[in-house]
A and B are shown apart, each in its own frame.
Chain A
Amino acid sequence: MTKQRSRIACALALLAALPAAAFAQPHGGFDLDRDVNPESAPLREPIARQQPAGHGAPAVRNPHAVRGSYGWNNGIVWLPSPLYWGGGFWGPFALAELTSTPRFGSLADPQGSIEPSYQVDADSPGAQFLQDYGLAQTPCGQPSLVVIWGPAGSAICALPNALVAAGTYKTDPAAFALVLAPL
């Protein structure tokens, strides 16, 4: 994601290039007075969206997943982070910046609300997930696609292939697998 790369590069340049000696060493802890002002806007609460149920539904086994719960993540439990689209599964897309992120199609959720979709970051768990299944992401909104509901009410779409037929699925982050989730 270009924006993310740019942000990281800028921050790192700041870290490396600033003449630290030019700044007085502050005393009495961190100076974040402006940020702890009680008049600050409250934290943005994540929007809870209902996803397709899919409990007990058949899974499409991930042919490349490492064995064991969260084996794909070195055994570290993956949990969604509330400030990011899809909890961060599809990449570090901050909810605060989504309005300036180009959409990659949209689709209706089980309640009929239109949900925007975005292009998966190449270095995200979601990109690895798609790669494991040999799926290529495509903009949502066309018929006969693989629709994948990810964490935190996010959704992306892919072209069907020999392993995954067109339909609606949800992700199982522990097994790193697709679970059939008919609407």
Chain B
Amino acid sequence: MDCALSLRHLTSSIHATLAALVFATGAANAEGTARIQQSDGSIKVYRDVRLVLTRWTLWVRTADRQGVLEVVSQACSFENQIQRCLPFKLTLHQAGKRLPIALEYGTVYMNFSDAVHRLPHVADRLGPGEALVLLRTRRGTYVSVAGRLDGVT
């Protein structure tokens, strides 16, 4: 195994460990729902996903704990008490691997206030401690996640 390969393996392991650690604490009261719509129109719904925010990164874990989506954002600003961030990096941690996904664009909304607020541009509302993630990958897959944040670190 050459040095580059070892380093890549180590980096991958560190990320997998970090992903596991992020979800190691806190009560298991996940209420989020994730929907993935492939470019061919097929849709899969994932209930009871767990959402944890660590600084600029939102981690979304499936109920069976087999998959974790890592969504890294920047350009966070506030609008009507809703924080809107623009994601630029999407990684799937699954089957012991760290799998980068090419992201086209997206938006992450979070409500850190104590009140319900309307989302910018649309009639929908976001309750206290709730998050909404809307992503489109370069392969044309739409990923949406909605639910309460189970942890903010």
A residues in contact (CB < 8 Å) with B: 4-5, 7-9, 11-12, 14-16, 18, 20, 23-32, 34-37, 40-44, 73-74, 76, 78-84, 87-89, 92, 94, 96-97, 123-125
Taken together as a complex, chains A and B put the C-alpha atoms of A32 and B73 apart, in Å, by 20
Give the secondary structure class of A's interface.
loop
Q: Name the distance in Å between B99's Cβ and chain A's nearest Cβ.
A: 4
In the complex, are the beta carbons of B122 and A92 less than 8 A apart?
no
Taken together as a complex, chains A and B put the C-alpha atoms of A64 and B66 apart, in Å, by 49
Query: Please, how many residues of chain B have a CB less than 8 angstroms from a CB on the other chain?
Result: 58
Taken together as a complex, chains A and B put the C-alpha atoms of A37 and B79 apart, in Å, by 37
In the complex, are the beta carbons of A18 and B35 less than 8 A apart?
yes
In the complex, are the beta carbons of A14 and B144 less than 8 A apart?
yes
Q: Name the distance in Å between A6's Cβ and chain B's nearest Cβ.
A: 9
Taken together as a complex, chains A and B put the C-alpha atoms of A16 and B45 apart, in Å, by 12
Taken together as a complex, chains A and B put the C-alpha atoms of A94 and B62 apart, in Å, by 28
In the complex, are the beta carbons of B134 and A7 less than 8 A apart?
yes
In the complex, are the beta carbons of B101 and A32 less than 8 A apart?
yes
In the complex, are the beta carbons of B75 and A14 less than 8 A apart?
no
In the complex, are the beta carbons of B88 and A8 less than 8 A apart?
no
Taken together as a complex, chains A and B put the C-alpha atoms of A24 and B83 apart, in Å, by 33
Selected contact of A11 from candidates B39, B95, B134, B137, CB within 8 Å:
B134
In the complex, are the beta carbons of A8 and B44 less than 8 A apart?
no
Residues of B within 8 A of A23 (CB): 43-45
Residues of A within 8 A of B77 (CB): 73, 76, 78, 124-125
Residues of B within 8 A of A4 (CB): 107, 121
Q: Confirm or deny: B104 has a beta carbon within 8 angstroms of a beta carbon on chain A.
A: yes
Taken residue by residue from 28 to 40, chain B's Cβ proximity to chain A (1 for < 8 Å, 0 otherwise) reads as 0000011111110
Taken together as a complex, chains A and B put the C-alpha atoms of A15 and B102 apart, in Å, by 22
A27-B64, A35-B138 known; 14 new pairs, CB 8 Å cut-off, are A18-B45, A32-B101, A32-B143, A34-B139, A35-B92, A80-B75, A82-B88, A87-B75, A89-B75, A92-B86, A92-B107, A94-B104, A97-B104, A124-B77
Q: Name the distance in Å between A44's Cβ and chain B's nearest Cβ.
A: 8
Taken together as a complex, chains A and B put the C-alpha atoms of A26 and B46 apart, in Å, by 7
Taken together as a complex, chains A and B put the C-alpha atoms of A16 and B132 apart, in Å, by 12
The chain B residue sitting closest to A89, CB to CB, is: B75
In the complex, are the beta carbons of A81 and B101 less than 8 A apart?
no
Q: What are the 5 A-B residue pairs with the smallest beta carbon separation, nearest first?
A: A29-B67, A88-B75, A94-B105, A29-B66, A81-B74
Residues of A within 8 A of B46 (CB): 25-26, 30
In the complex, are the beta carbons of A36 and B73 less than 8 A apart?
no
Residues of A within 8 A of B119 (CB): 8, 12
Residues of B within 8 A of A84 (CB): 75, 86, 88, 105
In the complex, are the beta carbons of B88 and A35 less than 8 A apart?
no
Residues of A within 8 A of B75 (CB): 78-81, 84, 87-89
